[in-house]
Amino acid sequence: MKRFGLSVSGLAATSVLLASLALGTTPSRSLDIGALESLSRNAAFDQFVEDLWPEARRNGISPELYRSAFAGVTPDPRIFDRQTSQAEFVTPIWTYLAKRVSADRIARGKSMMQTHTSALQAVERRYGVDKYIVASIWGMETNYGSYTGKMSVIRSLATMAFSGGRKKYGRKQLLGALDILQSGDISLDQFTGSWAGAMGHTQFIPLTYNAYAVDMTGDGKRDIWNSVPDALGSTANYLKKRGWKNHMPWGWEVRLPRGFNYRMAGKKGTRSVAAWAKLGVKPAGQGRFGVGKVRARLLLPVGRHGPAFLVTKNFDAILAYNRSNSYALAVAHLGDRLAGQGPFEASWPTDMKLLSRSDNRELQKLLSARGFNTGGTSGTIGPRTRSAISNYQHRIGLTPDGYADARLLERLRRGL
């Protein structure tokens, strides 16, 4: 890199290779090809860093910081592997929950909440967010700080911005990461996180950090890496800004009446809790709703086959942290367990055969071919696909719960 002199690895390796050829030595074919590929990649990466500088400068990044941030940085091959080896199966929600809401995590969470009682109480008072949910996110993200990630945030995000399927994400987050360094909140040697740039006790990505991180300790820094109060306060601030209201719970596990119309599930069916109660929907166990005016929607993670939930906008605030119903439900449930509540009442259909991502893509294509709009064929089952499944089920006389299993896919394959 000419302007900043950030990396000479590519030039040095090129000189070694050229010298070897000039001396008449012949490196092995595998080493030759591997070296050339590495040289090409590093040279292109150096050019990427050079080209990024004008935008970073416009954002207020100093030349000195930019130079030090990228000194000796090369693409991280581990990131290439992570981006190109995505799992081709869907983890069953019951497996996901069992791992993340385990007895050990519940016990450790209760212990950590006792240790950090004053910090959690201060966070709850300031932001009006349930301390059990804040602690739950802490537990979900890093098992209460036991693994926060040791990879260089700059190297990880620069690799993603340089190559792969998430260049846009990587570039935006990389520029945000430079802003963090420029602010002085964290030193470069401590600027670590996950392979995708998530950082600290509650795994904020850089742009989220810049928008929502707070200084709970009053030391002038927003240190989510080393300060538990700062990390918990930042998480509560994020949830509050994403719509959390302290007058209502995240939701309830519920029992549905016989003959229930499953097409009422989803956001389009949102109504007051009192209206759900009039339809015969009751809390699981012996509890009461207690907040009749609060609006809620029906969530059926595995259709009619497993537990059902009424969820409020507080559940949606958790979803903003990670757009996965499994994640949000795990956070909500772990929070309840930390507060002393018991496990879910209904059982999960653990013997059910789930569809793989390629199965989901085929399902979407078959539904679309029959005129049911799935909103795309990515293999991700979102609201449009669930609606399409429900409409198809209704047309052929099945319970329209919007959930597809192997048997439903087989019916579509047979043209039924």
Enumerate residues 6+ apart whose C-beta is below 8 A from 17.
27, 32, 35, 36, 39
| Residue-level pLDDT at 14 | 36
Instruction: Please indicate, yes or no, if residue 149 is contained in any of the structural domains.
Output: no
Single out the residue in 49, 71, 93 at which a domain terminates: 71
CA neighbor of 360 nearest in space, from 92, 86, 89: 89
Enumerate residues 6+ apart whose C-beta is below 8 A from 4.
49, 50, 53, 63, 66, 67, 70
Q: How many CB atoms lie within 10 A of CB 370?
A: 13
Instruction: Please indicate, yes or no, if residue 158 is contained in any of the structural domains.
Output: no
Instruction: Please indicate, yes or no, if residue 394 is contained in any of the structural domains.
Output: yes
Q: Are 8 and 26 in contact (CB under 8 A)?
A: no
Single out the residue in 55, 71, 87 at which a domain terminates: 71
- 90 pLDDT band, cuts 50/70/90, is low
Residue 20's domain comprises 9-71
Single out the residue in 71, 96, 111 at which a domain terminates: 71
| Residue-level pLDDT at 23 | 41
Q: Is the pLDDT of residue 12 over 50?
A: no
Q: Decide: helix, strand or coil at residue 40.
A: helix
- Residue 309 CA to residue 251 CA, distance in Å, equals 7
Q: Angle at which helices 406-413 and 383-395 pack, to 10 degrees?
A: 70
Q: Are 239 and 134 in contact (CB under 8 A)?
A: yes
Instruction: Please indicate, yes or no, if residue 139 is contained in any of the structural domains.
Output: no
DSSP letter at 190 equals: G
Q: Is the pLDDT of residue 75 over 60?
A: yes
Instruction: Please indicate, yes or no, if residue 364 is contained in any of the structural domains.
Output: yes
Q: Is the pLDDT of residue 8 over 60?
A: no
Instruction: Please indicate, yes or no, if residue 351 is contained in any of the structural domains.
Output: no
Instruction: Please indicate, yes or no, if residue 327 is contained in any of the structural domains.
Output: no
Mean pLDDT of 54-71: 97
Instruction: Please indicate, yes or no, if residue 47 is contained in any of the structural domains.
Output: yes
User: How many separate domains does the chain show?
Assistant: 2
| Residue-level pLDDT at 192 | 98
Q: Are 70 and 49 in contact (CB under 8 A)?
A: yes
Mean pLDDT of 162-182: 96
User: Model confidence over 375-408: pLDDT tens digits?
Assistant: 999 998 888 999 999 999 999 999 999 999 999 9
- Residue 20 CA to residue 27 CA, distance in Å, equals 8
Using a pLDDT cut of 90, give the percent of the chain over it.
79
Distances (CA, A) of 349 to 99, 304, 346: 16, 10, 10
Q: Is the pLDDT of residue 329 over 60?
A: yes
| Residue-level pLDDT at 34 | 55
What residue ranges in 226-294 does DSSP mark as E strands? Answer: 251-255, 266-272, 282-283
Count, residues in the chain: 416
